[in-house]
Amino acid sequence: MSDTPTKPVRPPEKNFKLVVEYDGSAYCGWQRQPNQPSIQGALENVLQRMTREAVTLHGSGRTDAGVHALGQTAHFKCRSRLSPDDLQKGMNGLLPGDIAVQSCQGVPLDFHARFDSRWKLYRYRICNRPVKQAVGRQYAWQIFRPLDVAAMEQGTRHLVGRHDFKSFESSGSPRDQTVREVMAASWQHNDDHLEFDIRANGFLRYMVRNIVGTLVAVGMGKLDADAIPALLRAADRRLAPATAPPHGLFLVHVQY
């Protein structure tokens, strides 16, 4: 009989899918950045402590500085023996209060949070009243002038469908393909609070915030609602109104 110790068998690689909620107020955005706090960085640091592996987290997309999420999706691979339930509980015990893992589940090894997504839903919140808002101010853009919601709804209808959204892409971040399909877009309003929901098969950088800025210009009477088709055809960011601030934007859901 040999006294040679047997080499421990490494567990097989596994793939885990996370759904994450976060308040983006204190972060430079989703993507890890040197010397800046990021959502990705905070999650990876906790996962590496738990699994003792160099974990890389892949998100469904990047949210910018100050943008929030109710349902950001990400995946990572590791060889840990921890169960999905153990990972979720452990992460939530170690993460700061402004980041929470809503679910963790095992998925096939070929699942990819970004490339496998079918559509995403974003929501933008506006507080529209003449008096300053204190509670909730970090989660809504306050506009003091009254907005014509009916005109904004009219302008929104021009966005639904397959269009080139280059006029609503952030300058300095060009892509070869700027055509996207907006499956649904609508406004809901309750007293002095407005919510804009938009669902599409993909989004350009700042696309939602640029659209909201344009629709607010319509609501203020600075732009005609029926001018939006011409903006789309122009494919020129310089012709569209200013970008809405980040703190009113939420990534709500990613569909697979």
Domain co-membership, 220 together with 165: yes
8 falls within a domain:
no
On whether both 127 and 72 belong to a single domain, the answer is no
Reported as a pLDDT band with limits 50, 70 and 90, residue 10 is confident
- Split at pLDDT 50, 70, 90, the class of 39 is very high
Domain co-membership, 89 together with 146 = no
Q: Is 64 a residue of the active site?
A: yes
**129 and 234 part of one domain:** yes
Domain end marker among 76, 107, 138: 107
Using 50, 70 and 90 to split pLDDT, how confident is the model at 174? low
Residues linked to residue 125 through DSSP beta bridges, in sequence order? 195
CATH code for the domain of 76:
3.30.70.580
Residues 100 and 123 in one domain: no
Q: Is the pLDDT of residue 60 over 70?
A: yes
**Residues 152 and 191 both lie in one domain:** yes
Looking at per-residue pLDDT, the higher value among 10 and 62 belongs to 62
Q: Where are the beta strands (DSSP E) in 84-203?
A: 99-107, 119-128, 141-143, 161-164, 179-190, 193-200
Mean pLDDT of the chain: 95
Work out the percent of the chain whose per-residue pLDDT is above 70. Answer: 96
The reply to whether 152 and 237 lie within a common domain is yes
Q: Which of 64, 148, 192, 197 is catalytic?
A: 64
The verdict on 124 and 249 lying in the same domain is yes
Contact at 8 Å (CB) between 80 and 50?
A: yes
Which of these three, 107, 131, 150, is where a domain ends? 107
Tell whether 228 is covered by a domain: yes
CB atoms within 10 A of CB 77: 15
Cα angle 129, 66, 184; round to 5: 70
**Does residue 4 belong to any structural domain of this protein?**
no
* Res. 227 pLDDT band, cuts 50 70 90: very high
Residue 114 domain-assigned? Answer: no
CA 27 to CA 72: how far, in whole Å? 15
Considering 107, 129, 150, which residue would you say is the last residue of a domain? 107
Give the long-range contacts of residues 89-93, CB within 8 A, separation 24 or more: 90/46, 90/50, 91/43, 91/46, 91/47, 91/50
Could you tell me the residue range of the domain that residue 163 belongs to?
119-255
Quote the number of domains for the chain. 2
Q: Report pTM.
A: 0.93
pLDDT (tens digit, 9 = 90+) per residue, 106-116? 999 999 999 99
Q: In this structure, are 141 and 247 located in the same domain?
A: yes
Please tell me whether residues 182 and 245 are part of one structural domain: yes
Indicate if 205 and 240 belong to the same structural domain.
Answer: yes
- Check pLDDT > 70 for residue 4: no
Task: Fill in the DSSP letter of residue 67.
Answer: -
The per-residue pLDDT for 175 is 74
Q: Judge if 127 and 232 occupy the same domain.
A: yes
Please give the span between the terminal C-alpha atoms of the chain, in angstroms, as a whole number: 54
**How confident is residue 3, by pLDDT bands cut at 50, 70 and 90?**
low
Query: Is residue 112 domain-resident?
Result: no
Residue 5 lies in a domain: no
State yes or no: pLDDT of 143 exceeds 60.
yes
The per-residue pLDDT for range 204-213, each reduced to its tens digit, is 999 999 999 9
104 band by pLDDT with thresholds 50, 70 and 90: very high
